[in-house]
Structures are given as C-alpha cells and as structure tokens.
Amino acid sequence: MPNTSQTQTALTPLRRFATHTTTTCSAQASAYGKCILATYTDVRKDSCKEEFEKFAACMRQAMKRKW
C-alpha cells in the first residue's frame, strides 16, 4: 500500500496541471480544442500547430517550467 504523503506529493504536479488547463489557459485550450474539432475529419500534421503552440506556451508559463 503506497504511503499517503508520497501519493499526495506525486499528485501535486498533476493537480496543478489540471488547474492551469481549466483556468489559467482556458482561452488557449478552447482555441486549440475548436481547431481540433473543426479539422478532426481531415487530420493533417501541424493542422492546429499555431493554436497548440500558444496553449503549450501558456502551460509552460503557468507551470513555471521550461521543457
């Protein structure tokens, strides 16, 4: 059985990620989602690249981590 404090520590980055995707970067996530929805029947590489890059940049800034 895993230690509760270890489990909480492991979930903290995931919780921060979930919070930031639904609040801090919601506009960028929405734009990316709309692009995916509009092109899902004709998927091509980089079809929503611009929207994804904006969303990814927002997430990196929100998470304060350079990947």
Q: DSSP labels for 31-43? A: HHHHHHHHHGGG-
CB half-sphere exposure, 59, CA atoms < 13 A: 18
Whole-model pTM: value is: 0.67
pLDDT band at 24 (very low <50, low <70, confident <90, very high): confident
Task: Check: CB of residue 17 under 8 Å from CB of residue 60.
Answer: no
pLDDT score recorded for residue 59: 86
Backbone angles phi, psi at 25, to 5 degrees: -110, 30
